[in-house]
Structure 1
Amino acid sequence: MDIIFSIVVLLSLQRIGHARSIIDSTNVFSVDAYGAVGDGKTDDSQAFLKAWKDACGSKDGVSTLSIPSGKTFLLKPITFSGPCQAAGIHVQILGTIQAPQQSEWSGVDPDMWIMFREISGLNLEGPGTIDGSGSQWWPKSCKHSPKACLQAPTQLVMMGCSHIQMSHLKLVNSPRNHLSIASCDNVVMNDLTITAPGDSPNTDGIDISNSKSIVLSNSIIATGDDCVAINSGTSDLNITGVACGPGHGIRNLQSK
């Protein structure tokens, strides 16, 4: 396995501003055009899925799924599935995506909140925020109370995807792991900010498993557990310029 670490931990970190990507496409599918309200209370899941269906199914080059600024979109557990007919999918998150209250998870898969599955050519870009509303889960974490605990969801999962780009995003307050990369290849992550309180249980920044050709650069990861957990089946991983802590650092958990 090839893993290259070049980790820069700065006591005072100045972030270099970036110019937000200009959506150079008329093939834009905005979730509010599909009925998303964005008031932080209304369930916007179906509007997102309808917009995704059209974006994924479009044959007119690269599709852009636009999530507008100035709004908070409440999503229940949701999966965006491929393969897509579009040449690529650009998910532009300008606003905030919010997880539901813990009581609203009854009868659904508690293992994950947002999943992208079997998609090639996915570009997930900020500068918006994905907020997992984790504080309501942490007191009942299995880490603290294994005999009477709740299985908490991973905030964002990439499963079986290839040629992924993720940039300029904020992932905050996940119930459990913030980002899981599983069975993926050719993943580039840059300028991510992943944060949760230092005492929040099992809130890994990024978990990587059974994946190859992964690049993580110029990011801040400050959570209550591992900054990056490298699990079995991972190869060709390059990590540079990551400010890590609080948390348990970057750990290689692969068996020898």
Structure 2
Amino acid sequence: MKYHGFVLALSAIVAAATPTGPSADATCTVTNFDDVANAVSSCTDLVIQDLTVPAGKALQLDLKSGTKLTFKGTIKFDFLNWEGPLLVISGSSVTVEGSGATLNGQGEKYWDGKGGSGTTKPVFVKIKTKANSVLNNVNLLNCPERCVSINADDTNLNGWNIDVSAGDTQGGHNTDGFDVSNTNNLHIDHATVQNQDDCVAVNQGTNMVFSNLDCSGGHGLSISVGLSSSNGSPNTVSNITFTDSKVRKSANGLHIKTHPTGGTGAVKDVTYNNIVISDITNYGIEIQEDYGDVGNPKANIPITNLILKQYTGTVSGSKAKQVSIVCASGGCSNWNWDGVSISGAKVKDDCNFQPNGYKCNT
């Protein structure tokens, strides 16, 4: 009897010490928006499934270090004209799995053909991760405006699919695929983007690779530099590689643009390698140091060590050009191009700077 009583007492102590709610080791499946905050603060194996996010609310996922997050089913974001973002993912050493889910921004309820200059539209997804975080196989449908804003370090995105193709006929505009700022050590691989603006736009940061991209309907593989950073420091992009990618049915193949009325900074050590373009309506290659003040280029953002290797394909349309280059005096240097071959232009190139290895057809 004494032994039996001891066992019962010990069992009671163990039971009392065992948590009954979500724990750091629990798998938590959330289907109700009101349960998100508690699960995010408690769980390191989190499932967001068939969830509707109320209008004007953000799905704020400030994940614990090392968390695995899985999306399942359909995650829908209800309509309201506000700035957003609709979804924020942040954390250190986190893993995100799309797992065949669809994140639906219901952009068709926002589109007015005016993008950022029309009614207020939210950014869809903001990523603020670090320390070897990985985000795999995420499917975004119908971004209201900009799709993914990245401000991250040591982060990999693999297998993303961004589908804003409905915006082609329903008024989608400024639906950038990936906008990247204040980011270091980023790799985006095997992504598909169908949209109405830049497939990728790098605004600030270093050490990035964009590989195996399939871009269509937008403005191509872009770098946009010159607007002052939030802390007033130079706005610099360096050591960026675009490789093994396709740009189809788009306005531009690649577009590098610096803002003469913005701050200081640099674009340097940028490589485009094995890029195939097709059905490009404006420019196979467009590089300008007069973006926002056309005809008045400035060298406040010099473009140096620009490498193109095996950049091939076609442009189409009565006004399409193979290459357009507008550099300020002293603003461009050490450009080395090899294997650049673009056909189909009915208008001659427009170049005031000649890269090594390419002769502009002027």
TM-score under structure 1 length normalisation: 0.70
Corresponding residue for 1:54? Answer: 42
Q: Which runs of 5+ in 1 are unaligned?
A: 1-24, 37-43, 56-62
Corresponding residue for 2:178? Answer: 206
Q: Is the 8 A contact 1:140 1:150 kept in 2?
A: no
Q: How does 1:60-99 map to 2 (within 5 A)?
A: 63-68=44-49, 71-75=50-54, 76-81=57-62, 84=64, 87-99=65-77
**Secondary structure at 1:226's aligned position in 2?**
coil
Distance in 1 of aligned mates of 2:217 and 2:115: 21
Offset from partner CA, 1:118-154 (integer Å, 9 cap, x none): x1012111121111111111117455xx4xx322111
How far residue 53 of structure 1 moved from its aligned partner, in angstroms, is 1.7
Residue from 209, 215, 237 that aligns with 2:208: 237
Which of these two proteins has the greater Rg computed from alpha carbons? Answer: 2
Residue from 219, 222, 226 that aligns with 1:248: 219
- Which structure has greater strand proportion? 2
Which consecutive aligned stretches of 4+ in structure 1 deviate over 4 angstroms post-superposition? none
Q: Is the 8 A contact 2:115 2:174 kept in 1?
A: no
How far residue 26 of structure 1 moved from its aligned partner, in angstroms, is 5.8
Query: 1:115 is aligned with what amino acid?
Result: V
**Identity, % of aligned pairs?**
21
**Secondary structure at 2:146's aligned position in 1?**
coil
Go from structure 1 to structure 2 and tell me whether the alpha carbon gap of 1:229 and 1:158 turns closer, same or farther (over 3 Å shift): same
Q: Is the 8 A contact 2:53 2:59 kept in 1?
A: no
Distance in 2 of aligned mates of 1:207 and 1:89: 25
Q: Is the 8 A contact 1:129 1:170 kept in 2?
A: yes
Corresponding residue for 2:136? Answer: 167
How far residue 73 of structure 1 moved from its aligned partner, in angstroms, is 3.0
Superposition RMSD in Å: 2.1
Go from structure 1 to structure 2 and tell me whether the alpha carbon gap of 1:93 and 1:78 turns closer, same or farther (over 3 Å shift): closer
Query: 2:193 is aligned with what amino acid?
Result: I
Residue from 125, 136, 141 that aligns with 2:97: 125
Go from structure 1 to structure 2 and tell me whether the alpha carbon gap of 1:51 and 1:141 turns closer, same or farther (over 3 Å shift): farther
Q: Which runs of 5+ in 2 are unaligned?
A: 1-23, 227-300, 302-362
Distance in 1 of aligned mates of 2:93 and 2:208: 19
Q: How does 1:3-18 map to 2 (within 5 A)?
A: none
Distance in 1 of aligned mates of 2:59 and 2:108: 20
**Secondary structure at 2:86's aligned position in 1?**
strand
Q: Is the 8 A contact 2:177 2:193 kept in 1?
A: yes
> Are 2:127 and 1:139 aligned?
no
Query: 1:192 is aligned with what amino acid?
Result: W
Q: Is the 8 A contact 1:218 1:241 kept in 2?
A: yes
Go from structure 1 to structure 2 and tell me whether the alpha carbon gap of 1:206 and 1:250 turns closer, same or farther (over 3 Å shift): same
Distance in 2 of aligned mates of 1:31 and 1:138: 30
* Structure with more relative contact order (C-alpha pairs < 8 Å, separation 6 or more): 1
**Secondary structure at 1:53's aligned position in 2?**
helix
Go from structure 1 to structure 2 and tell me whether the alpha carbon gap of 1:191 and 1:160 turns closer, same or farther (over 3 Å shift): closer
Query: 2:94 is aligned with what amino acid?
Result: L
How far residue 188 of structure 1 moved from its aligned partner, in angstroms, is 0.4
Q: Is the 8 A contact 2:52 2:78 kept in 1?
A: no
TM-score under structure 2 length normalisation: 0.51
Distance in 2 of aligned mates of 1:185 and 1:157: 13
Offset from partner CA, 1:15-62 (integer Å, 9 cap, x none): xxxxxxxxxx96311114xxx2xxxxxxx2x2122211211xxxxxxx
Distance in 1 of aligned mates of 2:48 and 2:72: 6
> Are 2:215 and 1:216 aligned?
no
Query: 2:146 is aligned with what amino acid?
Result: N
Q: Is the 8 A contact 1:116 1:161 kept in 2?
A: no
Go from structure 1 to structure 2 and tell me whether the alpha carbon gap of 1:162 and 1:132 turns closer, same or farther (over 3 Å shift): farther
Corresponding residue for 1:186? Answer: 154
Go from structure 1 to structure 2 and tell me whether the alpha carbon gap of 1:142 and 1:92 turns closer, same or farther (over 3 Å shift): closer
Q: Is the 8 A contact 1:88 1:120 kept in 2?
A: yes
Distance in 2 of aligned mates of 1:90 and 1:241: 25
Corresponding residue for 1:101? Answer: 79
